[in-house]
Structure 1
Amino acid sequence: MMNGVTIGQAAAFVGVTVKTVRHYHKLGLVEEPERDSSGYRRYGSDELLRLVQVRTLATAGVPLAGIGPLLDADAEQFAAALAGVERQLTERIEELTARRDTLHRLADGDRALLPDRAVALLERMPGLGFSPDYVAAQRDALVLARALVPEGYDGFLTQLEHGLDDPGYIDLTRRGWEAETWEPDDPRIEELATAMADHYLANPTLLGDPTSLNAWAKASAQYKLINNHRKDQAPISARLTALTETKLRAAGVPLPHR
């Protein structure tokens, strides 16, 4: 009777594939047994034990490159190495949990890209009479602002919150979006820009706090990208915003230039 088992039997006993056993051999984790008189490699209890140990550590999350030194370590080194692997696994679990949460937020639309506070603002807008196109433009601006000017983002949200609580702001903003149907040289554009600037100056909270204004003032390139987004789709609105900003700068408001 021949001693030991074939590689296929060894793999089956241990619960891995033949390819995996060969990979362990290649990495030097398990020594290949000598060939018997028939030319076959026969796996005995020593090799099977080593295969079980390697497979168990690999399944537990220990990188293959670290298994060899781990098996050859003393008890103290082994415990320390396992603690390190546990820390890595914990970090990986936290990362995967965050990814899963992002997937859940993706299923909930805007929540993948925006914090709940911003989503709440978007959800208020349709009930205040803002069109779907306007809400979509604001969504884009909120996403871009969060990515490009994070230090000014909370202040930006606060401005919008004040605006949505202000009937005058809502009326002027809605009129500004409706102005897309006007002719480019319509004198009402200039009049509306003046009314908007005057309303901002009369209600400074709509302009943002000093910290937010300072953050945006230092981010002129980002401000330009955000403000010019959808410019081709809403040229009148873009012109209206530019006119309003010019009037505000003339009044001393530190807005960045486009």
Structure 2
Amino acid sequence: MMTIGELAKLAGTTVRSVRYYHSNGLLEEPQRQPNGYRTYRAVDLARLSRIRRLRDLGIPVAKIAELLDGDAHDTRSALDALDKELATKAEQIAVQRAHIESLRRNADPELPDAFSEVLAQYVVAGAPTAWIDNERELLILALTVSGGDPEVCDSLLSAHRRVLAEPNREQAIELITRMYALADAPADADTIAALAIQFCDFTESVLPEQAAPEDASPTRLVAVLREHQADRRTVTQERFSKAVAAEFAARQSRL
């Protein structure tokens, strides 16, 4: 005979757990003795030990009742199912840990390594911080809206790598710097027009797929990126954007 405290200690669990198993019907609750205490027998200890081992394996309480009253085949089947479930969870955890490790190494936790490396190259090349911050937001938006579509990712990476390749890099950084300088001070029409022509020349040479007037019916991705850009332009930058669109349209009409 043993008290509930002694039973719990021998089974390696707690009095609270024993009472919980009583409430769930896993462990029969003995009648109180004349002295007011409940006493437990060896058979109760054996059953409680089985309950604790099954719980330690992660088997739900509802399933434990079936196993305790079933045969050895039921137990093996339940353990096989549990093993398969744990194997799946282990694979998921391995993927999550690999992602966490990637984030630790990555200079920008919100972007995949390849995009983070591209932005790092712009930093080294001397691109304006404001432009890099804006480009980072554009990349995050593009990946979010596209759902990380591999085709979109490849297209974005290809464009940036061509811009950063020699001999394009120096001209690209100069253009970016001059375009972003428009945010700080007004510019006359001739300055804006000249910069728009240089921008269009560079785009036709390095990014020909982008050298066209804006599509009147853009994809959802393009529409979101345009909206993002429009929200951040100053008055002078908006004038530059319109000058670029007009220059591309004029070139298209001459074809």
Per the normalisation by structure 1, the TM-score is 0.79
Query: Is it true that 1:194 corresponds to 2:210 in the alignment?
Result: no
- 1:203-226: per-residue Cα shift (whole Å, max 9, x none)? 345649xxxxxxx99863433333
1:173 corresponds in structure 2 to: 176
Q: Name the CA distance, whole Å, in 1 between partners of 2:76 and 2:246.
A: 67
Change (3 A) 1:23 1:225: same
- 1:45-84: per-residue Cα shift (whole Å, max 9, x none)? 1111111111111111212222111233322332221121
CA contact (8 A) 1:162 1:206 kept: no
2:80 corresponds in structure 1 to: 83
- Provide the secondary structure at the position in 2 that maps to 1:117: helix
| CA positional deviation for 1:243 | 4.5
> What pairs with 1:210-229 in structure 2 (closer than 5 Å)?
220-229=219-228
- Aligned residue pairs total 242
> What pairs with 1:1-258 in structure 2 (closer than 5 Å)?
4-108=1-105, 110-149=107-146, 150-151=148-149, 152-165=152-165, 166-167=168-169, 168-183=171-186, 186-204=189-207, 207=210, 220-229=219-228, 233-235=232-234, 236-237=236-237, 240-241=240-241, 243-245=243-245, 247-248=247-248
CA contact (8 A) 2:162 2:206 kept: no
| CA positional deviation for 1:233 | 4.8
C-alpha RMSD of matched pairs (Å): 3.0
- 1:181-203: per-residue Cα shift (whole Å, max 9, x none)? 23166542333223212322233
- Provide the secondary structure at the position in 1 that maps to 2:59: coil
Q: Name the CA distance, whole Å, in 2 between partners of 1:195 and 1:189.
A: 10
Q: Name the CA distance, whole Å, in 1 between partners of 2:99 and 2:71.
A: 42
CA contact (8 A) 1:163 1:170 kept: no
Alignment-mate amino acid for residue 161 of structure 2 = E
Segments of structure 1 that go 5 or more residues without pairing to the other structure are: 209-215, 253-258
CA contact (8 A) 2:31 2:38 kept: yes
Per the normalisation by structure 2, the TM-score is 0.80
Q: Name the CA distance, whole Å, in 2 between partners of 1:110 and 1:238.
A: 32
| CA positional deviation for 1:85 | 1.0
Q: Name the CA distance, whole Å, in 2 between partners of 1:22 and 1:251.
A: 83
Q: Name the CA distance, whole Å, in 2 between partners of 1:36 and 1:128.
A: 85
- Provide the secondary structure at the position in 2 that maps to 1:125: helix
- Among all aligned residue pairs of Structure 1 and Structure 2, give the percentage whose two residues are the same amino acid: 27
Alignment-mate amino acid for residue 14 of structure 1 = A
CA contact (8 A) 2:106 2:116 kept: no
